[in-house]
Amino acid sequence: MKKEIIYTANAPEAIGPYSQGIKINGLLYTSGQIPFNVNKNEIVTSGIKDEVHQVMKNIISILEAGNTSIDNIVKTTIFVKDLNNFNEVNEVYASYFNDENYPARECVEVARLPRDVNVEISVIALAN
């Protein structure tokens, strides 16, 4: 059981001592992704919906680097600074999944997130 470090230039670089993703025992674990657009080298701040879209794009990039896909996500954790954004977060989040393929999930409000962003999401996915 050897762990594999997953890296892609299409998602934000780690800003601490962690990896973008780890693949082990048929699962891929991503680190929490924030709404950082690597192409523009900036945090997306144009509203919670745009922020969630960017986070999901970052997650998809890491999953693809690990040879899996969003369809194989089995668990997500969503952290938000303001739970009043729950409905908007859900709307965007749901658009990435087939209606009968939703992963298990929790969504929690937190006091602060890295770089003072409004949302951070991590996932666990089945991996080949």
CA atoms within a 13 Å half-sphere pointing along the CA-CB vector of 56: 18
Distance of CA 123 to the CA centre of its chain: 6
| Helix 48-65 with 86-94: angle, nearest 10 deg | 40
User: Catalytic one among 27, 107, 113, 124?
Assistant: 107
CA atoms within a 13 Å half-sphere pointing along the CA-CB vector of 4: 15
State yes or no: is 107 an active-site residue: yes
Tokens for 119, please give them.
Answer: 């949302």
CA distance linking residue 57 with residue 6, whole number of Å: 16
CA distance linking residue 28 with residue 127, whole number of Å: 6
Catalytic annotation, residues:
107
